[in-house]
Amino acid sequence: MDNQFTNSPIHRFTQYIFFSGKGGVGKTTMASATSIHYALQGKKTLIVTTDPASNLADVFEQEIGHRITPIKGIDNLYAMEIDPDEATREYKERIIAPFREIMPEDVIASIDEQLSGPCTTEMASFDRFIDFMETDEYDVIVFDTAPTGHTIRLLELPVDWSKHIEESAKGTGQTCLGPVQTIQESKEKYDRATALLRDPERTTFIFVMRPEELSLYETIRASKELETIGVKSGEIIINGILPEEVCEIDFFKKKYESQQSVIEKAKVALDRPKRYMFLRNNEVKGIETLKSIAKELFNGVRPEFKEKIDLAQISVPVLTKPDINKLWIPIKGTKALFFTGKGGVGKTTISCITALYTAQRGFKTLLVTTDPAAHIGEVLDVKIGSIPVKVTENLFAVMVDQEEAFREYKERVLNDARGKYSEDMIKAMEEELNSPCTEEMAAFDKFIQYIEGRDYNLIVFDTAPTGHTLRLLSLPFDYARQVEMMVSTQEALQAKEATQNRFREIINILKDKDRTVFSLVLYPESTPILESYRAMLDLKDAGIETQLVIANLILPEEVCTNDFFKSRRAMQMRYLREINDKFKLPVLQFPMMGSEIRGLKMLEEAVRLL
């Protein structure tokens, strides 16, 4: 299979290359290899990640962090991981600093409070990201972006914020980012960034996907979403293709044929240049391996697999097994089950299997997705919308649609306020509610309504990839503060108290181990383990204890008949031992299945494997 590719044109202006795609498809690997390729060509190259759950440092095997860092062993290559907290601090200080000398303390405190809303972190990261599009210091800047749904939202922000700044300037002059005069200059900056994103001479978008039906569906959907905001995606990388020569037994032959079928569909559905990358017999880490990936990506040079493995020498670790009935079956009231982890590890599939498992045991179960790149409907083979639909006996599914939740939320808040507060107060609230960050608050509000409800025995949440999930879960704390800011007049004290009590109760439910179970889904490789461990610590900081680790896509021993798959299984066993030692939690292993899990028949087979 030949790689059809184009090098991004290098003019006298900086070139921007964006990598997008669902989590877990290999964006960071492809972005890192691309940055190495251009650096080796003598181009001064910077790779930046805007992913709140970045693993750039893990791939390059060196510390990077929230500063531009030279990459060891490669001339001309620099990297940076945008830290959302640090970016927020810098952003707030830049806005507040000019007012410190001329404004009284109470006004400064008010601006600082206004800049403590949940949208500020996202805005600050985006603002930092735009800074790199305003410099001519580099020949090439490669952006390793966050998983698709969140990336699309990030890229839509310049459009939304420009509009929001204009509208706020006509009104009271207040925005959820502070007084409009403090950010008016940002409008031109965001408009310039939007123009650059839409300029195919300067900006190339590359979608990375796996040769799987769900990944193809996601790539088509995300590509269309980009086009609606005027951004054309340039190329496709299909990553993780099984080499035909190692697929001699039926289990992998079927997988190979399934992959080839998706590749053929992609040729028709995505009329763009494509590159084809083969699965490696081990994970991709370190400069030398990344150089090898770059050679395959740009020159079609395939690696050789020479490692000889004796399966008898692979020691299978003894893991602490979970009691899934104790964890998943409700004892008092409605129970909430959360599945989180790096994108692409199979959270959606595991969520669907779990929901079917509890439904089959007679518990009325609702499967909810809060992932902006949701595809539970694809797994269940049922059309999922914003109203719960019946999938089978005792099993229902629903998707939290941000736009619809936003409309409902805004209408409800304003209806509640009318007749209680002054017209000026209503006007200020409406202006505040029109900010782009309210969409996420509204989605969270919808999400907690399901937890508060009594219609189901179990609510199974297929959550967004790790960084975004944790951000979502931290919203009740931030939002309680946002409500305080919005309704701080005497007439609104009652509403403020009711809101705070409501969020307090939700936080208590999330922390109650009998009512809420947090599970980490990962596959046994270095990056998902590191990311899941960070997620566990972040949850712990919020007072939430993780109770289960699910190691997904474990290669069954009987199908590993050649050195290629024996090597991959040996790697998995090493990492299963690390998972057991590092997390000190029960580990549920779920095997790789012969076919992609889609539809109830396949899900029922998966439930039997539990």
Phi, psi of 580 (to 5 degrees): -60, -45
What is the rounded average pLDDT of the residues 150-163?
Answer: 53
Mean pLDDT of the 335-356 span: 89
Residues 426, 429, 431: CA angle, nearest 5 degrees: 110
Higher-scoring residue by pLDDT: 116, 205: 205
Q: Looking at the domain assignment, is residue 96 inside a domain?
A: yes
Show the DSSP H helices in 229-341 as ranges. Answer: 250-269, 287-299, 324-328
Decide if 29 is inside a domain: yes
> Which pLDDT value is given to residue 328?
95
Cα torsion angle, 542, 545, 550, 551, sign:
positive
Mean pLDDT of the chain: 81
Last residue of a domain, one of 297, 313, 346: 297
Q: Is residue 3 part of a domain?
A: no
The pTM assigned to this predicted structure is 0.79
Which of the two residues, 316 and 7, has the higher pLDDT score? 316
Question: Does residue 484 share a domain with residue 559?
Answer: yes
**How far apart (Å, rounded) are the C-alpha atoms in residues 238 and 210?**
5
- The whole-angstrom separation of Cα 469 and Cα 18 is 23
Closest CA relative to residue 482, chosen from 437, 443, 447: 437
- What is the rounded distance in angstroms from the CA atom of residue 603 to the CA atom of residue 607? 6
In a shared domain, residues 139 and 187:
yes
Helices 213-228 + 148-170 axis angle, to 10: 20
Residue 77 has pLDDT above 70, yes or no: yes
List Cβ<8 Å contacts ≥24 apart for 558-561: 559/249, 559/251, 559/252, 560/311, 561/248, 561/249
Of 59 and 413, the structure prediction assigns the larger pLDDT to: 59
Q: What is the CATH number of the domain that holds 44?
A: 3.40.50.300
113 lies in a domain? yes
The pLDDT tens digits for 425-468 are: 777 777 667 665 566 667 777 777 888 888 999 999 987 545 45
- Confidence class for position 113, pLDDT limits 50, 70, 90: low
| pLDDT tens sequence across 530-552 | 888 888 988 887 788 999 999 99
- In this predicted structure, the answer to whether residue 164 has a pLDDT above a threshold of 60 is no
Q: Could you tell me if residue 308 is inside a domain?
A: no
Question: pLDDT digits over 311-333, tens only?
Answer: 666 778 888 889 999 999 998 78
Predicted local confidence at residue 517, as pLDDT: 94
pLDDT tens per residue across span 352-383: 999 999 999 999 999 998 765 557 877 888 88
Query: Is 253 among the domain residues?
Result: yes
381 in the same domain as 329: yes
Average pLDDT rounded to a whole number, residues 510-529: 89
Q: How far apart are CA 68 and CA 49, in angstroms?
A: 11
Q: In the structure, how many helices (H) and strands (E) does the chain have?
A: 22, 18
Pair (270, 337) in one structural domain: no
- Closest Cα to residue 224, out of 161, 270, 159? 270
H helices of 512-599, in order, are 526-541, 563-583
More confident residue, 571 or 218: 571
480 falls in which pLDDT band (50, 70, 90)? very low
Say whether both 419 and 275 belong to one domain. Answer: no
Give me the pLDDT at residue 10, please.
45
Residues 271 and 383 in one domain: no
pLDDT category of residue 11 using cuts at 50, 70 and 90: very low
pLDDT (tens digit per residue) in 22-41 = 767 888 999 999 999 999 99
Does 277 share its domain with 195?
A: yes
Q: What angle do CA 38, 44, 50 make, to 5 degrees?
A: 80
Instruction: Please check whether residues 377 and 233 belong to one and the same domain.
Output: no
Q: Are 171 and 238 within one domain? A: yes
pLDDT at 177 over 60: no
pLDDT tier, 75 (very low <50, low <70, confident <90, very high otherwise):
very high
- Report the percent of the chain where pLDDT is more than 90: 36
| Structural domain boundaries enclosing 404 | 324-609
Domain limit, last residue, from 297, 332, 347 = 297
The verdict on residue 8 lying in a domain is no
The angle, 0 to 180 degrees and rounded to 10, between the axes of the packed helices 84-96 and 119-131 is 90
What's the confidence (pLDDT) of residue 409? 80
pLDDT in the model for residue 557: 92
Calpha distance 593→230 (Å, rounded): 39
Q: Do 240 and 383 lie in a common domain?
A: no
Tell me, what's the pLDDT at 168?
Answer: 54
pLDDT higher than 90, residue 275: yes
Q: Would you say residue 69 has pLDDT above 50? A: yes
* Residues 333, 223 share a domain: no
Compute the average pLDDT of residues 288-310.
85
Q: Determine if residue 21 is left, alpha or beta; phi over 0 gives left, psi from -120 to 50 gives alpha, anything else beta.
A: left
Average pLDDT over residues 490-518: 75
User: pLDDT exceeding 70 applies to what percent of the chain?
Assistant: 78
How many domains would you assign to the chain?
2
Q: What is the pLDDT of residue 122?
A: 65
What span, in angstroms and rounded, lies between the C-alpha atoms of 57 and 80?
9
Confidence of residue 596 (pLDDT cuts 50, 70, 90): confident
In a domain, 109, yes or no: yes
Judge if 85 and 123 occupy the same domain. yes
Average pLDDT over every residue of 227-231: 77
Q: Do 164 and 434 touch, CB atoms closer than 8 A? A: yes
Q: How far apart are CA 594 and CA 608, in angstroms?
A: 15
| Euclidean distance between CA atoms 569 and 567, whole angstroms | 5
